[in-house]
Structure 1
Amino acid sequence: MIKQLEVVRREHLKEKPDMATLGFGTVFTDYMLSMDYNPEQGWHNAVILPYQNIELSPAAQVLHYGQAVFEGMKAYRTGDEVRLFRPEENFRRMNQSNARLNMPEVDIDFMVDTLKQLVTLEKDWIPTGEGQSLYIRPFVIATEAYLGVRAATHYKLLIILSPVGAYYGSDHLLATKIYVEDEYVRAVRGGVGFAKVAGNYAASLMAQTRATELGYDQVLWLDGVEQRYVEEVGSMNIFFVIDGTVVTPELNGSILPGITRKSILELAQHLGYPVEERRISIDDVFEASQAGTLQEIFGSGTAAVIAPVGSVKYKDQELVVNNGQAGLVTLDLYNHYTGIQNGTEKDPFGWCVKL
């Protein structure tokens, strides 16, 4: 097991962007983390080095058989204090994804310690504007040059960093419009829907493109068997406030177990909201809307944090939620959640790791 981390300094640091104009995922910091794996040495060659392109064989198995797993998390800065939000949960989920794709697991404690060193080195890249953060992208790919269908023997783990604004732009609490996909499916139980693997997102792109062309922001996926039960949005887990209760689809093997989802459930209970994890059909959602008990819908994810949903389109029906505005429960959860993340509120759960 790796015990040491090498740091290779770059000669000249990059010019930092205008933090007031940040988008999402287009600017990258001075350094990244790299590690390699082979059966003889396990994970080895851990090094923080200048951000740069990587070299891959055209026969690298990731390019042909899709062994690729990734995570997403964020760092926040308030004054001189830098915080990570539940990084151990992300590396724990990375190990679950790795195991599903027959890839080697990582040492969670080592990865958290290594990430702390990387973010400390790059702390001047952390923006401090409202809705801004340092986005952290760890990922693992199969690098063995072999054209055969089996698990690879060689892998590379990288962590890259990107200063970002809000995922949906400067007005991050503007309600999004959701299109319910009723032709394609994203995942089925027994597959890889619960894992954060690259192929899940590739499978979603055609439906996302169609939704965008129709004027919608995101796709809401239904289950892959009956295509009746709500699962998740392309970049978020989904929540409904029905008659005062915060409801989200139960994890079933084809829904990603989001870290933000888990945290929102814990926070909502802490704040006194009734919470339910259960199967909910798209018909249930429209019936609740017609009955007047559907009060709010919002999505949750590392990138988007909490995003209110203003309308939902399903076949020839469209419902508008809370007059297309963020609801009171959504705003309450957003304010408490982001306050914990950026250090302006107490953290009663011990979620934040201070650097």
Structure 2
Amino acid sequence: MKKIKLQTIVPFIAFAVIFLFFTIASKGKMVSAYNLGMLIDQSMVIIIIGSGMLFVVAQGSIDLSVGVNLALSGVIGMWAATATGIPLLLIPVSLAVGAIIGLFNGAIVSMLKVPSFILTIALLIGVPGIVHLIQTQIGAQYLSSSLRFLNMPAVKIPLFIVIVALMAVVFEFKKSGRYCRAIGENETVPKFVGVPITKVKILAFMLSGLMAGVGSIFSILTVGGTSQTMGSFMEMKVAMAMFLGGVLVTGGTSAKIYKMLLGSFSITIIVNGLAIIGYPESQTSESVEGILLLLILIVTIIATGRDKKRGSPPDNEVLLDNQHVELTR
């Protein structure tokens, strides 16, 4: 019988503890139909962007530009839709801008060997100035009434589920996802068996950028237009969601879609729950998130060490075996 690894159940335990605590502390307000709907709606953008950034994190890298990418994609997409009078142009333009920024990141990281942290934090610092300049020149941009139906739960939720499901299938079951995890485990081994490392890295950042573009559309649908604060701290929320869910900073086989989902809902529950029980200040929620993240990372690392001591089969060996089968077919 296959043993259940401790690192597998830690994210579920953490989520359950957080959910139960705030359910009790809020005297049941947390589980009201209205609040549950709010939790889902507030988690959507984090999950969508996280489903793309997971490919990057699985490689042991990070994409801290997703928040500014969301802002720039949304602003340019709205400007194109408003300037041309074609509301639907918002979608392809936002997606294209997001993917292009991701392509730029991937090319610089993979070809010039620039650390992803340095590159994407440079964009995090510089791009907001460009967004502000564009917003100043074109003014506030509002969503066309012809597209507001996309924000209806009957349309938005199924669309969200389809997008995340597609990303989950690609990450968990397709070669691109397995290659990303293998690179995170040990880049030398997949390179030795013929994995196109450069292409996989570029693809990972492009998917991260593309999902930032999708996130910008969902953000605009929710807010009803663009704003100066669009995408602010989104990169931190997404990174926190993954690490809080048990994805290690080193990536590899610790990167799982379900962990990102649990972490995303956990982050939203913390912010929402603190507001319900009377602590709406952002400083309070950030402090709680930081403490919980530190605790869960420590528990996850300890659990990973115990799994190895118990003789659990190394995930990277299984992963590379699967890759070798794919490569030799």
Question: TM-score under structure 1 normalisation?
Answer: 0.25
Instruction: Name the one with the larger strand percent.
Output: 1
Q: Which has the higher contact order (CA 8 A, sep 6+)?
A: 2
Instruction: Name the one with the larger helix percent.
Output: 2
Question: TM-score under structure 2 normalisation?
Answer: 0.27
